[in-house]
Amino acid sequence: MIVNSKEMLEKAKKEKYAVPHFNINNLEWTRYILETCEEMRSPVILGVSEGATKYIGGFNTVVGIIKGLVKDLNITIPVCIHVDHGSSVETCIKAIDAGYTSVMIDASKYSLEENIKMTTEVVEYAKEKNVTVEAEIGHIGGTEDEIDSDIAYAKVNDVIELVSKTNVDSIAPALGSVHGLYKGEPKLDFERMKTISEKVNIPLVLHGGTGIYDDLIKKAISCGVCKININTELQIVWTEAVRKFLLDNSEVFDPRKIIGAGKEAMKNKIKEKITLFGSSNKY
């Protein structure tokens, strides 16, 4: 069932677990994620970055792949098709027009006023089409789509202003997490996370889920995080398995066997995350 993120995140907030957001890169990954989430009865948000969208073919191709798989594989859990880090209002509009059910407008690199302006434009367009919107404030550090950036912790008053002025559905305040691998220990500001969650009362999103220790993930969920984004960890386990397979099987040239060699490793990692986030058997 393809849905927006509203009901699944509200349920997660109420029942204190987190919905997994897994980034997709191709048809096979999408299939492994959907099959595993169906097995575990977990809702799922399929996050597609602008880079991944271009790689796959475009917004319509992404929607076509997901809709086709949901139908052919009889997927019955709630599935959300989500733009990860949409960098402009135009990107979000194109995705909504193609059938995405949720978008993230990431105007975090602009001033608060500009962030509010861009987020409001997206919310106004999205609301009419029953599409949910996530915004970002402060700056999540690390590397994504080969772009590096530093962490800037979100200020509580800025988050309150952005949420109240834009009516956004969920918010990703930068609180110390990074995309990709951590250099040193993750330094999440849980006090601020809790304060923000109490003040804004909408689902909080934790980006940069890779490399955050399990006990910190649980603490984040207890502080109001309802959606956790995972990308790098899936890339690592898939690549390790495929690399080993190729080294051990130099005679194989069937791409289905090569890509499929990463399937079990990915499925195991997805199961591990769903169990940690507490999102299994919710549907």
- Footprint of ligand 13P (CB under 6 A): 23, 47, 84-85, 179-180, 207-210, 229-233
Task: Tell me whether residue 11 or residue 82 sits nearer to ligand 13P (CB atom).
Answer: 82
DSSP 131-144: -EEEEEESB-EEEE
**Least distance in Å: CB of 9 to ligand 13P?**
15
**CB distance 42 to 79 below 8 Å:** no
Taking the least distance from each CB to ligand 13P, the nearer of 70 and 230 is 230
Q: What DSSP element (H or E) covers 51?
A: helix 50-56
Shortest CB 141 distance to ligand 13P, Å: 10
Q: Tell me the residue length of the chain.
A: 283
One-character DSSP codes across 105-151:
E--TTS-HHHHHHHHHHHHHHHHHTT-EEEEEESB-EEEETTEEE--
Kindly give, in sequence order, each residue whose CB lies less than 8 Å from that of residue 57, ignoring residues fewer than 6 positions away. Answer: none
Residue 123 near residue 154, CB atoms below 8 Å: no
- Most distant CA pair in the chain, distance: 60
Quote the least distance from Cβ 106 to ligand 13P, whole Å. Answer: 9
Question: In terms of CB distance, is 88 or 165 closer to ligand 13P?
Answer: 88
Residue placing its CB nearer to ligand 13P in the complex, 23 or 119: 23
Q: Which residues are designated catalytic? A: 84
Contact criterion met (CB below 8 Å) for 200 and 170: no
| Measured distance CA(32)–CA(23) in Å, rounded | 12
Min dist. Cβ of residue 231 to ligand 13P (A): 4
Give whichever of 1 and 181 is closer to ligand 13P, judged by the CB atom.
181
Closest CB 116 distance from ligand 13P, rounded Å? 21
